[in-house]
Amino acid sequence: MKIAVCIKQVVTREWQLRVNETKAWIRDQDASFELNEPDAYALEEALRLKEKHGGEVVVVSAGPARAAQVLREALARGADRAIHVEGDALAAADAFVIAEELAAAVSDEKFDLVLAGLQSDDQGFGQVGVVLAEKLGMPHATIIMEVQAVDASLRVKRELEGGWFQWMTLPMPALLTIQSGINQLRYATLKGIMAAKKKEIRKVPSAPAQPTLRIAGVYFPEKGKKTQMLAGSAADAAKELVKRLREDARVIQ
């Protein structure tokens, strides 16, 4: 089974976020970075499928030069090789641009399965995987909690709302977006780190498409005390609350 895993480099959760000079994204010049958590679970699932069925795991990332860090980490964990679509503009590109770049990089590889994390820890749109599936002409399923490969098809378990789950079957090739917690993550061993230095990272030049989404501004939520006390009896307070919810907040009609 030939599996591609789409991974992204994101700012570490512990870093104190700062807005950049344009006020349209974060300042990342002095930030520390890590592998996007949902992508780590997608990688682990790919490695487990490879161990069970054989084949090859290829990690793919679209981002600036620094994204090679997470590709090396993925290779150290057990991936066989990597593809890096490199471009500075990809650091804050929207889902459609990233999907277009990834599709161009992997379309000739003829993968049996493409895995991606459900969403990224920075933008969190959850759209790259499904747009990529459309670009590649593959059936897809999202929020996957279990994967079973049977002959030339996949049986997958999807997480739904309210604690419900759904089992479905897809033909291969297919694309799945993986939910965090699907498995127990492994970490790179010293042997894996040394082996990763000899594994291939193929660089692909970026030719980003015109963005379809523009971030107008990024800001931190304002903190303030705006508590209002409603005087009178319980009945009067309830009437006033309903009035304010309808006329001021407009959350009910």
Percent of the chain with pLDDT over 70: 100
CB burial class (10 A; 0-12, 13-18, 19+) of residue 74? Answer: buried
Give dist(CA 71, CA 199) in Å, integer: 10
Q: Confidence class of residue 80 from pLDDT cuts 50, 70 and 90? A: very high
Predicted confidence at residue 20, as pLDDT, reads 81
- Extents of the domains making up the chain: 2-205
Buried b / exposed e over 25-42, threshold 16 CB at 10 Å, is: bbebeeeebbbbbbbbbb
| Choice among 101-105, 127-131, 209-213 with the minimum mean pLDDT | 209-213
Q: What's the mean pLDDT in 149-162?
A: 92
Token code pair at residue 128: 């790259």
Predicted confidence at residue 218, as pLDDT, reads 81
How does DSSP classify residue 222? Answer: P
Decide: 203 and 92 in contact? Cβ < 8 Å.
no
Predicted confidence at residue 74, as pLDDT, reads 96
Q: What's the mean pLDDT in 3-22?
A: 88
**Is pLDDT of 77 > 90?**
yes
Give dist(CA 142, CA 228) in Å, integer: 42
Q: What's the CATH superfamily of 2-205?
A: HUPs (3.40.50.620)
Q: Confidence class of residue 93 from pLDDT cuts 50, 70 and 90? A: confident
Of the candidates 248, 225, 251, 218, which has an alpha carbon nearest to the alpha carbon of residue 17?
Answer: 218
Predicted confidence at residue 141, as pLDDT, reads 96
Predicted confidence at residue 205, as pLDDT, reads 87
Token code pair at residue 9: 């480099």
**Is pLDDT of 158 > 80?**
yes
Mean pLDDT of the chain: 91
Predicted confidence at residue 111, as pLDDT, reads 96
Of the candidates 129, 60, 135, 101, which has an alpha carbon nearest to the alpha carbon of residue 207?
Answer: 101
Predicted confidence at residue 227, as pLDDT, reads 80
Predicted confidence at residue 79, as pLDDT, reads 96
Token code pair at residue 241: 């609350």
Question: What is the tens place of the pLDDT at every residue in 189-242?
Answer: 999 999 999 999 999 988 877 788 888 888 788 787 778 888 889 999 999 999
**Is pLDDT of 162 > 90?**
no
How does DSSP classify residue 223? Answer: P
Q: Confidence class of residue 29 from pLDDT cuts 50, 70 and 90? A: confident
Percent of the chain with pLDDT over 90: 66
The DSSP annotation for 161-182 comes to GGG-EEEEEEESSEEEEEPTTS
